[in-house]
Amino acid sequence: MTGRPIWRLLLRGLGVYLPGWEMPAGALRVRDGFGPPAYLNGDAGFGVQISGRRRGLEPDREIYVRGRENPSFGIVVAGPAAAIGSRVVDAEVLMRFARRLTFEELFDTGDADSVPYAVRGARAVENAVFLDRAAGIGLCAEVDPVTRAPRCPLYVRLGGPAERTVRVYGSAAQPAEARG
């Protein structure tokens, strides 16, 4: 998992939105339950249930591009989970939200020529990291390169500012081989 683009995107996002948070010496993998509000949904991976949904919230975002000839886009979004607009957030919902944000970021309302670029960019989003600092949760979604199906192989628990901890849980359904 640590060699895959979604892992590198998560680390970049943590560096941008949670600066100074480091893995403590002697930290071990946690293999016990991950607790609410996350759940596992077979091959689709993790999902979360949130208490509310609100449109119009503008979360922070950073877009990353890999490759030149056939670029792959990744986006890190930090803000309230309610901004996603769904009470249940899983891989499909998160990827749809990430693609919409990418389109909005690349589209220039004053330039009609930006539409094809924005559409291609939105379709090329293959990795998305969402971090809700206030709720202390995050999800990482990726598109399987073979089946093109989205899945959330990683769930993130963020400790409070005093703790400065980040716990990342991987789904049991994740592929055994690292891709990247």
| pLDDT at site 177 | 36
Map tokens 């995107």 to a residue. 9
* Cα 148 to Cα 9: distance, rounded to the nearest angstrom: 19
What sections of 18-140 are H helices per DSSP? 91-106, 114-123
Query: What is the arithmetic mean of pLDDT over 72-78?
Result: 91
Query: Over the stretch 92-102, which tens digit does the pLDDT of each residue have?
Result: 999 999 999 99
Whether 152 shows a pLDDT value over 80: the answer reads yes
Task: Return the structure tokens found at 38.
Answer: 């996350």
| pLDDT at site 9 | 86
Query: Over the stretch 123-137, which tens digit does the pLDDT of each residue have?
Result: 999 999 999 988 889
Map tokens 């596992």 to a residue. 40
